[in-house]
Amino acid sequence: MNSEESKSRFISSSEAKEKSRSAYYKLLESAREGNMVCIRRGVYATIEQLADTMIDLDVVVPRGILCLFSAWNIHGLTTSLPQAYHVAIKRGRKIRLPEYPPIDLYFITEPLLELGVEERIVSGYEIKVYNKERSVCDAIKYRNKVGMDVCSEVVNSYLALPDRNLTLLMDYASKLRIRKILEKYLEIKL
């Protein structure tokens, strides 16, 4: 593993044990001294990694997908900064979250969970995030939770994009059962 790769990844105690016994003890010593933070049992991160704008999502929430505010922020569809990482996971799945960083979970049924997922590199981390079209549909679907002003901002920002794909947007809206509401929005905006 090169230094750039190791800088961006969280470290698990099992990885340290695989390297050598001394690497494992160095990891534990680093955590005791406050140079590393235990974010979940057996998973450690440096202070710099936690101060970054992105986390090693697959380590903290395996198979998690960034959604809502986190996805809107990555795609530049909103000006509001997320107060937590918004992560979609399969409905019924049990997961233990770390105390830090704050993570809001959204439980999605399996057929809809993978709809519109793309992989991106953000701050050196490879993460899964919903694409722009799915993110816009989520804004409409959760408009009462996130607020009409945020929903409007996301839709307006998307419609202003030159690379928008209204066909894909309408396809996702049908699958997520919000097509009629989206059509009303588009009628007003376009």
pLDDT tops 60 at residue 8 = no
Residue 164 DSSP symbol = -
pTM over 0.75: no
Q: What is the pLDDT of residues 137-147, one digit of tens each?
A: 999 999 999 99
What 8-state DSSP symbol labels residue 166?
A: H
Residue of 172, 178, 185, 95 whose CA lies nearest to 130? 172
Cα distance between residue 115 and residue 70, in whole Å: 17
Tokens encoding 91: 């409905």
Closest by CA position to 155, among listed 116, 185, 187: 185
Tell me the per-residue pLDDT of 42-66, one tens digit each, with 9 for 90 and over.
777 665 655 555 777 887 888 999 9
Quick one: which H or E segment has residue 141?
A: helix 132-141
Select from 190, 140, 135 the least CA-distant residue to 168.
Answer: 135
